[in-house]
Amino acid sequence: ETGVTQTPRHLVMGMTNKKSLKCEQHLGHNAMYWYKQSAKKPLELMFVYNFKEQTENNSVPSRFSPECPNSSHLFLHLHTLQPEDSALYLCASSGLAGSTDTQYFGPGTRLTVL
Amino acid sequence: GDSVTQMEGPVTLSEEACLTINCTYTATGYPSLFWYVQYPGEGLQLLLKATKADDKGSNKGFEATYRKETTSFHLEKGSVQVSDSAVYFCAQYKAAGNKLTFGGGTRVLVKP
């Protein structure tokens, strides 16, 4: 498989559930990102990882917990979410955070919180 | 702060018509500029980019020129197809801030 993959593509969860989103990049990149795309709102950067280290947390609530075990994998752990957290969650990767390299996006996970 | 403003959609046009989507940015310094496209049910795909003033990015018949004097990066295509129906996002990136800032997106619908 090539590019950036995300699983699952769709997820429905209750407010008391715990779930995780997975992202994997096959591009040899060193930086990975989580974005949130809500209807009628601009894309929001959530987290940035550079060489497995978190370099940015854009004031994201603690009910979202990222994990980056290596440069190819990125997770977003979800717990006690709210209905307003329903959105498309996009993962991206680039050659090196802080450079002008282009970010490549995965297809996203469509999350619905009931 | 840094921002990107693009025309609101939806933009509806017929096949073979000309498309222009306006994009302007505010930034200190000299950002790199991008256009991304999002087809229904998919993530964002890079369409084209330009990294310095007067650069022209082009791909799949789309073009955009980095205009520093007007802080603009308008997207153009001379003859659209139904398959160009998508949401188009303008974005700027500055290494110093380590942030890719997106505009709100413009939905384009091309009718046969």
**Nearest-Cα residue of chain A relative to residue B94:** A100
- Residue A65 CA to residue A69 CA, distance in Å, equals 13
Task: Say whether residue B57 is in contact with chain A using an 8 A CB cutoff.
Answer: no
CB spacing of A105 vs B43 below 8 angstroms: yes
Per the listing, tokens 């497995």 go with A52
Task: For residue B45, give how far its alpha carbon lies from the nearest alpha carbon of chain A (Å).
Answer: 7
Chain A interface disruption, residue of B23, B98, B99, B101, most A CBs within 10 A: B98
pLDDT at residue A97 tops 80: no
- Residue B83 CA to residue B15 CA, distance in Å, equals 9
pLDDT at residue B76 tops 90: yes
Chain B interface disruption, residue of A2, A10, A43, most B CBs within 10 A: A43
Instruction: Return the pLDDT at B78.
Output: 96
Instruction: Return the pLDDT at A99.
Output: 59
Per-residue pLDDT of A36-93, as tens digits, reads 999 878 889 999 998 888 888 888 999 999 999 999 999 999 999 999 999 999 999 9
Per-residue pLDDT of B9-21, as tens digits, reads 899 999 999 999 9
